[in-house]
Structure 1
Amino acid sequence: MRIVACLNGDRRPGAHPALPVSVDQLVTDARSAVAAGATAVHIHPRDHGGAESLEPQVVSELMERMRAEVPDVPVSLTTSLSAESDPWRRYDLVQRWASPALPDSVSVNLHEAGSVDLIQLLGDRRVAVEAGVWTVEAARILLATRVEVAAVLVEPTQVAAEDARRNADAINSLLDRAKVGVPRLLHGADATAWPMLEDALDAGLDIRIGLEDTMRLPDGTEAHDNAALVAHALSLASA
């Protein structure tokens, strides 16, 4: 089972005292999350002003440091339109990422404009793709286009846990019927983060946790940092 630490997401700098933004912070935080039990990390790269960025120089600086200081840990980066709102400019930026500093994988949200073209580009660049599937309609895009992906991220966005669970169940049911055999990860956000993590454990799916998804432990107290969230997730997985 993979335990992915999602370190920062699109949260604003300062949203949590321990939210990692700079490269130094991300490297240090990734090391701590792995020490706590994470088997991979997922990062939204940030420029020197703290804004999300897919600029080649931003990605290269981050990946070079991660490779040097957190070796042998798979690194996934976002390609969300929250990081670059223009899908054509996003394509161009990813195309210009430097080969020696490519991430192990990236997440691509299938409901976003330009997602299929981006997945094909990443395949040509030999970067694994984790398909972000938020809805049944997005799952149908995955099946209809037959794009090659290394994993599926089932990501219900509903606010209430029961609504998120119904959406996730419908997505998983469709993927099961279509015999999609790649690894699958299920996660929620904020109020649904821990319920979805427990559902993922019950179903034998991969899990992720981190300040991107929630800033609180299940009892509602603020988590100290990403490592604390990972440690708690590991304790649930081991129970």
Structure 2
Amino acid sequence: MVQVCLNGPRGSVDGAVVPLTPGAMAESAARAVAAGATDIHVHPKNPCGHDSLSPRVLAPTLEAIRARVSVPVGVTTGAWAEPDPAARLARVRSWATLSALPDHASVNWHEQGAEEIAAALIDLGVGVEAGLWSGTDGAARFTASPLGPKVLRVLAEVTDTSADTADGTARTLLADLGPAHGRPVLLHGEDGAAWPVLRLAGRLGLATRMGLEDTLILPDGERASSNAQLVAEALSQYGCAQRSS
């Protein structure tokens, strides 16, 4: 599986190529799926371009994307979108008012209130992607969590952005995860480590992701023009890594 991460917390400062409106996200998602993406991760934005967990923001984003694609669509619950843990939990619980829920949502296990957020999502019937960042206690907390067996998958997120050291950081994170409660693992990096970690995922036979949330740059150093271009290149790099393993 290659998931496309359409935008992340990036804003318009990163260029018009990053989709920020429901219509732009839907168009970018459709092109990425046509390029081979089989799952979508998106950060719904309020009119000011900031990440939001409000159902009034999620609804038009999910509706627009689902009108164009039929693959699963997931969203973020990152603390930057709602810093107060109690308010963040209330926001997630308010998703019960949505006519159609996201298929899954990422929960960063090192963030305060992560277990409560994950439990609320499970109660709603929304799949949980357990975001376990390198350099945090997320992996240790997750391996001890009773919710571990109930998550959809693990997002092993390599926050080391150095192309020289990311491979080792990724392998350490995977070792810390151990069997990960038997859940599937999606391994990915960001910025300078995005492509090296994607190739490692290919060699290890793990799911991965690519998109404008993770990097704006192609392997040759050129600026990416779209999520679709990144996905197409990711599939090529991933396939080559698999064949060479």
TM-score interval (norm. to shorter): over 0.9
**Counterpart position of 1:226:** 227
Equivalent AA in structure 2 for residue 195 of structure 1: P
The answer to whether the aligner puts 1:144 opposite 2:140 as a matched pair is no
- Normalised by the length of structure 1, the TM-score is 0.94
| Alpha-carbon distance in structure 2 between the residues aligned to 1:165 and 1:155 | 12
How many residues are matched? 236
Deviation at 1:179, TM superposition (A): 5.7
User: TM-score, with normalisation over the residues of structure 2?
Assistant: 0.92
Q: Do the aligned partners of 2:198 and 2:238 also contact (CA within 8 Å) in 1?
A: no
Q: Which aligned runs of 4 or more in structure 1 are off by greater than 4 angstroms?
A: none
2:175 is the alignment partner of 1:193: no
Match of residue 5 from structure 2:
6
Q: Post-superposition shift, 1:99?
A: 4.0
Q: Is the 8 A contact 1:154 1:186 kept in 2?
A: yes
For the residue of structure 2 that corresponds to 1:145, the secondary structure is coil
- Retained in 1: the 8 A contact 2:158–2:189? yes
Secondary structure of the residue that 1:195 maps to in structure 2? helix
Measured after TM superposition, the shift of residue 225 of structure 1 is: 0.7
2:113 equivalent to 1:114? yes
What's the counterpart of residue 243 of structure 2? none
SS class of match (2:237): helix
Q: Distance in 2 between matches of 1:227 and 1:67?
A: 17
Tell me the alpha carbon deviations over residues 174-195 of structure 1, each in whole angstroms, 9 at most, x when there is no partner: 323x463211111111100000
Question: Which residue type is aligned with residue 222 of structure 1?
Answer: R
Instruction: State the 1:87 CA deviation.
Output: 1.4
Percent sequence identity over aligned pairs: 42
> For 2:236, what is the secondary structure of its paired residue?
helix
**1:68, CA displacement in angstroms?**
2.4
8 Å CA contact 2:143–2:180 kept in 1: the answer is: no
Comparing 92-101 with 163-172, greater Cα deviation is found at 163-172
Deviations 1:11-57 (A, max 9, x none): 12130331000001000000000001100110011012211111110
Consecutive unaligned residues of structure 1, counting only runs of 5 or more, are: none
Provide the C-alpha distance between the structure 1 equivalents of 2:103 and 2:200, rounded to a whole number of angstroms: 27
